[in-house]
Structure 1
Amino acid sequence: MFSVYFFENKDLVLNQLLKNVPSAGDEIKIKGRKGKVLSVATVDENKIYVQVDLEKVTKSKAAALTPLDKKKKR
């Protein structure tokens, strides 16, 4: 078992105990976000740092409110 730490830039995204370590170039899904493994670095015998590039979350804007929608309903 390996303790795998997933980093995006310098931010820790996730750490897991895994039997199989991802390799560079693998497609990965973390917290519902798709990404790609950039690099894998072994720190200790069982401690591995994985640098990932996750897709950016785009928030859709709500429909533009018209003046009638802004009125209070009674």
Structure 2
Amino acid sequence: MFVISFIENRTILLCQFLKQAPSVGDAITIKGRKGKVVHIENMDKNHIHVQVELKTNDKKKVAVDDSKKKKR
């Protein structure tokens, strides 16, 4: 059993107690966001830091139609 810390840009996203550690290039999902394992670093025999790169989710805003406003 390993304590695995998933890290992105020096921020810890998730710490889990898992039987098997992920490998480099594995696709993962953390908090509903898809990502990829970039680097794995063994701290102790039971502690592992996993560097993750999550995909950015670009949301486009829809332009508001002004013609539907009430005229006074």
TM-score for both structures, normalised by structure 2: 0.84
CA-CA distance at 1:8 after TM superposition: 0.8
SS of 2:21 mapped into structure 1: coil
Unaligned ranges ≥5, structure 1 = none
Q: Percent identity?
A: 49
Deviations 1:38-70 (A, max 9, x none): 111110111100001110121231x21233445
Runs of 4 or more above 2 Å deviation: 66-71
2:9 aligned partner: 9
Structure 1 segment 48-59 matched on structure 2, within 5 A: 48-59=48-59
Q: CA RMSD in A?
A: 1.7
CA-CA distance at 1:24 after TM superposition: 0.8
User: CA 1:66 to 1:28, structure 2 compared with 1: closer, same or farther past 3 Å?
Assistant: same
Unaligned ranges ≥5, structure 2 = none
